[in-house]
Amino acid sequence: MELSIILPYYNHANKLYRLLRTLPIDKKEVEVIVVNDHSNLNNEIYEKIKKKYEANNVIFMDNDINKKGAGSAVNKALKHAKGKWITLVGADDYFLKNNWTVLSKYFDCDVDTIFFTPISVEEYTTKLSDRHSSYKKIIYNYKDEQNRINELYLRYGFHSACSRLIKRKFIEKYNLRFAETHVANDVKFSIRLGHYMKNFIVTKEVFYCITKDKGSLTTTVTDENFITRLKINLQKYKFLRKYLSEKELELFEPNGIPILVTAIQTKMKLNTIQTIFALFKKNKINIFKIKRNYINIRKMIDYVNRLKQIKKFRD
């Protein structure tokens, strides 16, 4: 078995069907593992899809772990995967028509991972989106100039686990697993992959399309998800502290100002903003160290003071 395609699924049966139609399931060298992550909508459609595809190298299983989330779903699939290579895909996304031509020529490569350039589109208009821009920039910069800074961004700035091939033996060797969180569950996996990889290929070739939907977890901001993302980002920084020089570490130091500005713009609760300060303090990071912006700081202080006054009035 050359390739295991792993995809966690939740509720959007029509998108799952769209994705499956783009995968190379007719190839005997490929297995597809779909993990149903406690879906509670469109179950009838899902069962029809399951019946249609489970005879075509598509394995359907349930995420029977108590923790709900794509992270635990992927971890379950990794235990069952048999392919020499692993590629991960979000059920909202899809493969381009040339995917087999692009992927199969790399199957005999003696490397740990292969980075491909993704593209992205708006879900309902199919117009080109910007969700892939940061990853495209990382890949193009490295291809154009293979210096230390560009390599660091490739290793530690490419947070998505999608749009790449990863050697399964490499995943097993370093016991790489997804975080079992509701959001940003692939960051820990990707950072450690980037750190441990020794041989890798970077290509501008494209096989993977990300979709951007206003209601998705990546675009919806809630207090809980916001804090989870921040905690994961700070965990990443703590990990990098062990291995990078002070100058290199500055490339990835969390910037408190835009974090606070986002919290203000999305009208987060006072205790959420207090948690942001507490997390920076706990991790010994000066929240105002980088790119001081006193106008935004003033806005933040005024907003916090207003919240305190409202709370005092209600009490």
Q: Which of 49-63, 119-133, 164-178, 244-258 has the highest mean pLDDT?
A: 164-178
- What does pLDDT average to over the chain? 90
Identify the pLDDT of residue 181: 85
Q: Is residue 112 part of a domain?
A: yes
Residue 215 CB coordination number (10 Å): 7
In this prediction, residues 264-272 reach a mean pLDDT of: 88
Decide if 191 is inside a domain: yes
Instruction: Answer for the pair 158, 138: CB distance below 8 angstroms, yes or no.
Output: yes
Distance CA 273, CA 304 (A): 8
Summarize pLDDT for 205-221 with one digit per residue, the tens.
999 999 988 755 555 67
- Whole-model pTM: value is 0.87
The verdict on 194 and 61 lying in the same domain is: yes
Tokens of 113: 């991972």
Quick one: pLDDT at residue 257? 76
Give the rounded percent of residues in the chain with a pLDDT score beyond 70: 89
Per-residue pLDDT tens over the stretch 85-94: 999 999 999 9
pLDDT of 180 strictly over 80? yes
Q: Give domain status of residue 241, yes or no.
A: yes
Q: Which of 177, 212, 247 is the last residue of a domain?
A: 212
127 and 275 part of one domain: no
| CATH (domain of 147) | 3.90.550.10
Domain span including residue 244: 223-314
Q: Among the three residues 212, 235, 258, which one is the final residue of a domain in this structure?
A: 212
Asked whether residue 306 carries a pLDDT value surpassing 90, the answer given is: no
Among 142, 177, 212, identify where a domain stops: 212
Q: Which of 228, 205, 233 is nearest to 102 (CA)?
A: 205
What is the band of 293 on the pLDDT scale with cuts at 50, 70, 90?
very low
Q: Is the pLDDT of residue 266 over 60?
A: yes
Confidence of residue 292 (pLDDT cuts 50, 70, 90): very low
Give domain status of residue 27, yes or no.
yes
35 plus 182 within the same structural domain? yes
Q: Could you tell me if residue 217 is inside a domain? A: no
Q: Say yes or no: 115 and 174 in one domain.
A: yes
Over residues 256-266, mean pLDDT:
82
Q: Do 205 and 236 belong together in one domain?
A: no
Residue 30 reports pLDDT greater than 80: yes
Whether 279 and 232 map to the same domain: the answer is: yes
Q: Is residue 218 part of a domain?
A: no
- Asked if pLDDT for residue 19 goes beyond 80, the answer is yes
Query: Number of structural domains, the chain?
Result: 2
Q: Residue 11 — very low, low, confident or very high, per pLDDT cuts 50/70/90?
A: very high
Q: Does 30 share its domain with 83?
A: yes
Identify the burial level of 96 via C-beta atoms within 10 angstroms of its C-beta, where 0-12 means exposed, 13-18 middle and 19 or more buried.
Answer: middle
Comparing 265 with 120, which gets the higher pLDDT?
Answer: 120
**Residue 301: both structure tokens together:** 């202080």
